[in-house]
Amino acid sequence: MRSTPGAPLGSTDGKKKEKPLPPKFNVNLHIHEEVSSIQEKKNDMEDIVSHVLIEGTIYAQVHSSNAKKNPPFILQCSNNENSEETKFRYNEKLVDVGGEKKVVQIPKVTLARTQVASYQSTFNKMFMPILVQTKVVRSGQKSERCMVAIQLRSNMNNKGNLKDIVLAMSVPPTVIGNTLKVIRGDGQYDTLRRVVKWTLQELPKGESLMVGAHVKVLSTLYSDELPNFPVILRCTSAEDIISSVKVDATSVRGSPATLALKKMYSCRLLHRLP
């Protein structure tokens, strides 16, 4: 029998056998929201409220050291601030909804992210990721001219910058469309659709932007009347959601696998100011 010098008799090796490391798996959760909102027209920023409708989707992706099978995990979804108006739906092909906890089992062959749940929520919100304010002023001896200014302000509490911003302003029938001129911002006027459109690649959080135009009004409009210019804005965020939905993933009790969780958020917003 061959032995290591200094080792006890009967031992073939002076080293202890190392215990195998517990299996590990990574869970990536991506929460995305499609948002439609209507902002009330008020001058005081502290009183501005938007009526919001959200369609949310929860995706999951699992990477496991187990070559044959992905470990299951528990999916936890909640919205404590708006529980009554938030409805969660689960992909029952992947989520066991029969018990008290929602247990997710993603097949090993599924490498890409896959939808595990969705939700719908409606509520009123005071501070949206972006604030839109318009100001209309009449000028001239007979108040025949009208200037409209639109200010966009990105919420300083956003986690990331707003991107792919498209601002569209409708030109009402109470003004003479062919006299419109964009005076601020790189806007384009579609005379057929009577819409002015401004585009912006990115608006950093906490920053603001002003655009504007002037146009002649119809002589039939009273001098103390202000034309209304409805505004629609589209934008995206790769780091924020608008609801207060909370999503988490935890290990199943008794599972030897160690879970590492990463969460990502994104939203696409369609915001209206009538």
Give pLDDT, residue 1: 46
Of residues 24 and 145, the one with the higher pLDDT is 145
Going from the C-alpha of 26 to that of each of 22, 66, 82, 258, the distances in angstroms are 13, 11, 30, 8
pLDDT: which is higher, 196 or 16: 196
| Whole-number pLDDT of residue 67 | 86
Question: Residues 218-243: pLDDT tens digits?
Answer: 999 998 899 999 999 999 999 999 99
**pLDDT value at position 175?**
97
Find, among 110, 108, 197, the residue nearest to 150 by Cα: 197
Question: Can you give the pLDDT at residue 8?
Answer: 53
pLDDT given for residue 202 in this prediction: 97
Assign 45 to helix, strand or coil. Answer: helix
In angstroms, the CA 164 to CA 230 distance is: 20
Confidence band (pLDDT; 50, 70, 90) for 207? very high
Task: Report CA-CA distances (Å) from 143 to 149, 150, 180, 229.
Answer: 17, 20, 15, 17
Retrieve residue 221's tokens: 């409009």
The Cα–Cα gap between 179 and 215 comes to 5
Reference 229, options 182, 265, 263; nearest CA is 182
Count of Cβ atoms closer than 10 Å to residue 65 Cβ: 13
Section 21-32 average pLDDT: 90
Strands 24-39 and 258-273, sheet pairing: parallel
Task: Please write the tens of the pLDDT for every residue from 142-164.
Answer: 899 999 999 999 999 999 999 99
Average pLDDT for the chain: 91
| pLDDT band at residue 255 under the 50/70/90 scheme | confident
pLDDT in tens, 69-97: 999 999 999 998 888 899 999 999 999 99
- The C-alpha atoms of residue 114 and residue 75 are separated, in whole angstroms, by 14
Residues 6+ apart with CB under 8 A from 138: 145, 146, 217, 223, 226
Supply the pLDDT for residue 17. Answer: 63
**What does the pLDDT read at residue 18?**
67
